[in-house]
Each structure stands twice: as structure tokens, then as C-alpha cells.
Amino acid sequence: MLGSRLSYLFTFHSFSVATMDGLESAAISILKRAVDLDAKHRWTESMTCYQEGLQLLMEVIKGLPESPRRLAFRTKATEYMDRAEKLKALIESEKKLGKYHEQVHIEDNSTGHSYESVLGRFLDGRVRSVEVEDPYIRSVHQCYNLLRLCELCVKKCPNLQFIRLLTGSDPGDEHAQKARLTEICTSMADFGVKLIVNYSDTLHDREIRLDSGWIIKIGRGLSYFKPPAGKFCLGFNDFDLRPCHETTVDIFHESASK
């Protein structure tokens, strides 16, 4: 029943994407993804797409003269806004009841799963501290992954004060591991954020906890990206273009873990 209602939301009457300009096409593409994610209960992702798609759709509407076409777009925008509001209320209700759980399956060799794509929607001004548990922040590429996450948190969370890392010691070269992490600590301090590193020889779980209540558990931890094909290949810098190992991302709210 939900799928059919959401499918209706995406029906843009007789308007063909091929006849629309780029802005209209982009709006419809993003809103179509919002509906698809909505139906799959990937609600926080869906909310982000609804918001982005509606912003583009409103720009389209502002550029159209008064006409039946403009009225049809306004009607659709209202329907999407109503659904987004209901979805927002549903997310809040599930969080309060301790039932919120969202799962994302990252397929082998798939792309589009940078840390910003997976975590970015949870990083905002409400976040003051981030806790990262990953037993394998040891080698050079693993420490680079931590650095990328730190960069994203600093960029997206203007009130961030602490990032706490719990990881395992590298038995092969503990000195080099600590030197890399110390350099990240020093750089973070320049941005007013304290990186606190602790070690555990028994740590197994991998998760990221935000003091805003969100908990993100990634099966492979931070190291779910495959090596790039070369230093001058797409995906070397932009991790949305980097192929991934298969893994599962489980998203909870703190109340759901009590």
C-alpha cells in the first residue's frame, strides 16, 4: 500500500523528462530517489533527498509563468512537502520509542558510498563529540581513512569539540602507528578539536557514536573501500567514485540501544 502511494507521488502527469531542462530533470531524479528510499524504509536518506529535490523543484516553479503546468508542479511540491513532514514525524516517533533502525547494504564494487554519503546527513551543529571504535586504524591507508572522517566532521560540525578513537595497537609497527595518529591529533588541535586516542587489545566491534544520539555501525569499519586502480584513476581522491567491498551499515538512535 505504501509503495503504491509513493509511486503516485512520483507521477508527474504527462511531463516527460526528455522535454525538461536540466533543473527539472535533476529535481525529478532526486525526488524519484527520495520515493525509492522511502519505500525501502531508508528514511534519513529519503528525507535528505526530499529536501534537496524540493529545493530544486521550487526553483523550477519560480521560473515558470502562471499556467496549468506551473500549477501542476506546485501541487506536486505540496504533496512532496506533506510526505516529508510525515516522514520527519515518523522518524522522531521511532526514535522516541527506541525502534529506529535503518540498514544500508553496500554491494561489492558499488560506488557512491563516501563517508559524506553514508554519514554526512547526521553531522551538523548538534554534534559536539564523536566516538569511533575500530580495531584496525593501524596501517597508512587506515590512518588516512580516519583522517578523512575527521576532515568531514570538522567541516560539517561547527560545534565539534572532541573525537575519541578506540583502536588496536599495531604489533608490527606500533611506533609508526602512534606517530601517524599523533600527527592527526596535532592537526586537529589547529582547528580547535581534540582527538583523543585510546587502545584496546580486545576490541572487536566497529561503530561511530555521535552525542546527538545517532549510532552508525559499519561491518568493515572505516576500511570498506577498495584500493584505487592507480594514482591517476577516478576514485583516487573522490571516494564517491571509489569501488567498495561488500558491507552493511546499520543506523540506530541511542534510545534504540538502551
Single residue among 28, 62, 96 that ends a domain in this structure: 96
Q: What is the mean pLDDT of the chain?
A: 90
**Residues 66 and 148 both lie in one domain:** no
For residue 74, give the CATH number of its domain.
1.20.58.80
Alpha-carbon distance of 134 to 125, in angstroms, equals 24
The per-residue pLDDT for range 168-181, each reduced to its tens digit, is 999 999 999 999 99
Domain end marker among 96, 116, 136: 96
Q: What is the total count of domains within the chain? A: 2
pTM of the model: 0.80
Same domain as 27, residue 63 = yes
> Does one domain contain both 117 and 236?
yes
151 and 105 within one domain: yes
Q: Are residues 42 and 80 located together in one domain of the fold? A: yes
Is residue 14 pLDDT above 50, yes or no?
no
| Alpha-carbon distance values, 166 to 1, 95, 161 (Å) | 45, 26, 17
Domain range enclosing 83: 2-96
Residues 153 and 238 in one domain: yes
Residues 129 and 87 in one domain: no
H-type helices in 68-173, by residue range? Answer: 68-96, 115-119, 140-156
What are the φ and ψ backbone dihedral angles of 67, each rounded to 5 degrees?
Answer: -170, 165
CATH of the domain at 164: 3.30.870.30
Strands (E), the chain: 101-106, 129-133, 162-167, 194-199, 207-210, 214-218, 247-253
**Do 90 and 115 lie in a common domain?**
no
In this prediction, residues 225-231 reach a mean pLDDT of 95
Same domain for 220 and 126, yes or no, is yes
Are residue 131 and residue 247 in the same domain, yes or no?
yes
Phi-psi category of residue 42: left, alpha or beta, with phi > 0 → left and psi -120 to 50 → alpha? beta
pLDDT for the residue numbered 140: 96
- Any idea which of 11-15, 42-46, 119-123, 247-251 has the lowest mean pLDDT? 11-15
Residue finishing a domain among 46, 79, 96: 96
**How many CB atoms are closer than 10 A to CB 205?**
10
Give the pLDDT confidence score for residue 23 in this predicted structure.
Answer: 87
How many other CB atoms sit within 10 Å of the CB of residue 56?
Answer: 19
**Is the separation of the CB atoms in 21 and 57 below 8 Å?**
no
Residues 77 and 92 in one domain: yes
